[in-house]
Amino acid sequence: MGDKREEGLSALLHETRTFPPTDEMVKRANAGPGIYDEANADPLAFWASQAEYLTWDTPWTETLEWNPPFAKWFVGGKLNVAVNCVDRHVEAGLGARVAFHWEGEPGDTRTITYDDLLKSVCQAANGLTELGVRAGDKVAIYMPMIPETVVAMLACARLGAPHTVVFGGFSSDALRGRILDCDAHFVITADGGYRRGVASPLKAAVDEAVAECPDVEKVLVVQRTGQEVDWSEGRDVWWHDMVSRQPEHHEAEAFDAEHPLYIMYTSGTTAQPKGILHTSGGYLTHVAATHRLIFDIKPEEDVFWTAADIGWVTGHSYIVYGPLANCTTSVMYEGTPDTPARDRWWQIIEKYKVNILYTAPTTIRTFMKWGEDLPAAHDLSSLRLLGSVGEPINPEAWIWYRTHIGREQCPIVDTWWQTETGGILITPLPGITATKPGAAMTPFPGISVDIIDNEGNSVGNDEGGYLVITQPWPGMLRGIWGDDERYKETYWSRFPGKYFAGDGAKRDQDGDIWLLGRVDDVMNISGHRISTTEIEHALVSHPAVAEAAVVGASDATTGQAIVAFVTVKGAGTEGAPDGEEFVAELRDHVAHEIGPIAKPRQIMLTPELPKTRSGKIMRRLLRDVAEHRDLGDVTTLLDPSVVNAIKVRMSDGAEDKE
Ligand code: WTA
Are the C-beta atoms of residues 284 and 294 closer than 8 Å to each other? no
Residue 280 contacts by C-beta under 8 Å, 6 or more apart in sequence? Answer: 79, 81, 157, 255, 256, 257, 258, 259, 260, 261
The reported pTM is 0.92
Closest C-alpha residue for ligand 1 atom 6: 418
**Residue 651 carries which DSSP code?**
H
Contacts 24+ apart (CB under 8 A), 224-229: 224/144, 224/146, 224/190, 224/191, 224/192, 224/193, 224/194, 225/190, 225/191, 225/192, 225/193, 225/194, 225/199, 226/191, 227/191, 227/192, 227/199, 227/201, 229/191, 229/203, 229/204
- Which pLDDT band, with edges at 50, 70 and 90, does 3 fall under? very low
Q: Ligand 1 centre and the CA of 512: distance in Å?
A: 17
- Which pLDDT band, with edges at 50, 70 and 90, does 258 fall under? very high
Q: Does 643 have pLDDT greater than 80?
A: no
Q: Shortest CA distance to 416 belongs to which of 517, 347, 490, 331?
A: 517
CA distance 226 to 108: 14
Q: Does 519 have pLDDT greater than 70?
A: yes
pLDDT value, residue 573: 79
Residue 614 contacts by C-beta under 8 Å, 6 or more apart in sequence? Answer: none
Q: Does 5 have pLDDT greater than 50?
A: no
> What tens digit of pLDDT does each residue of 138-151 get?
999 999 999 999 99
Q: Ligand 1 centre and the CA of 426: distance in Å?
A: 11
Q: Does 195 have pLDDT greater than 60?
A: yes
Closest C-alpha residue for ligand 1 atom 23: 390
- What's the average model confidence in pLDDT over 250-274? 93
Q: Which helix (H) or strand (E) holds 154?
A: helix 147-159
Q: Does 12 have pLDDT greater than 60?
A: no
Instruction: Report the percentage of the chain scoring pLDDT > 70.
Output: 95
> Cis ω on the peptide bond leading into residue 69 (within 30° of 0)?
yes
Q: Ligand 1 centre and the CA of 505: distance in Å?
A: 12
Burial 171-195 (b: 16+ CB within 10 A, else e): bbbbbbbbbebbebbbbbbbbbbbb
Q: Shortest CA distance to 519 belongs to which of 542, 541, 494?
A: 494
Q: Shortest CA distance to 2 belongs to which of 551, 500, 549, 442?
A: 551
Closest C-alpha residue for ligand 1 atom 15: 416
Q: Does 406 have pLDDT greater than 90?
A: yes
> What tens digit of pLDDT does each residue of 271-328 get?
789 999 999 999 999 999 999 999 999 999 999 999 999 999 999 999 999 999 999 9
Residue to substitute in 165, 388, 529 for testing ligand 1 pocket (most ligand atoms within 8 angstroms of CB)? 529
Q: Ligand 1 centre and the CA of 191: distance in Å?
A: 31
> What tens digit of pLDDT does each residue of 46-60 get?
999 999 999 999 999
Q: Ligand 1 centre and the CA of 416: distance in Å?
A: 6
Q: Ligand 1 centre and the CA of 424: distance in Å?
A: 10
- Which pLDDT band, with edges at 50, 70 and 90, does 6 fall under? very low
pLDDT value, residue 633: 66
Q: Ligand 1 centre and the CA of 503: distance in Å?
A: 8
**Residue 339 carries which DSSP code?**
S
> What tens digit of pLDDT does each residue of 616-636 get?
888 888 888 888 877 666 666
Closest C-alpha residue for ligand 1 atom 10: 418
- Which pLDDT band, with edges at 50, 70 and 90, does 163 fall under? very high
Residues with a CB atom less than 6 Å from ligand 1: 266, 312-314, 389-392, 414-419, 440, 501-503, 515, 518, 524, 529
Q: Positive or negative, the Cα torsion across 437, 438, 442, 445?
A: positive
- What's the average model confidence in pLDDT over 528-547? 91
pLDDT value, residue 370: 95
pLDDT value, residue 637: 67
Closest atom of ligand 1 to 388 CA is 15
> What tens digit of pLDDT does each residue of 418-435 get?
999 999 999 999 999 999
**DSSP alpha helices (H): ranges in 202-278?**
202-210, 239-242
Count CA atoms closer than 13 A to 83's CA, side-chain side. Answer: 19
CA distance 221 to 124: 12
Q: Ligand 1 centre and the CA of 390: distance in Å?
A: 4
Is the backbone of residue 443 left (phi > 0), alpha (psi -120 to 50) or beta? beta
Closest C-alpha residue for ligand 1 atom 24: 418
CA distance 530 to 567: 21
Closest atom of ligand 1 to 515 CA is 3
**Phi and psi at residue 17, to the nearest 5°:** -70, 150
> What tens digit of pLDDT does each residue of 72-105 get?
999 999 999 999 999 999 999 999 999 999 999 9
Count CA atoms closer than 13 A to 13's CA, side-chain side. Answer: 17
Q: Ligand 1 centre and the CA of 555: distance in Å?
A: 17
Q: Does 11 have pLDDT greater than 50?
A: no
Closest atom of ligand 1 to 502 CA is 21
Residue to substitute in 290, 416, 500, 526 for testing ligand 1 pocket (most ligand atoms within 8 angstroms of CB)? 416
pLDDT value, residue 4: 43
pLDDT value, residue 424: 98
Closest C-alpha residue for ligand 1 atom 5: 418
Q: Ligand 1 centre and the CA of 649: distance in Å?
A: 34
Q: Does 657 have pLDDT greater than 60?
A: no
Output the average pLDDT for the chain: 93
Q: Does 655 have pLDDT greater than 80?
A: no
Q: Ligand 1 centre and the CA of 648: distance in Å?
A: 35
pLDDT value, residue 243: 98
Residue to substitute in 417, 420, 522 for testing ligand 1 pocket (most ligand atoms within 8 angstroms of CB)? 417
Q: Does 23 have pLDDT greater than 70?
A: yes
Q: Does 498 have pLDDT greater than 70?
A: yes
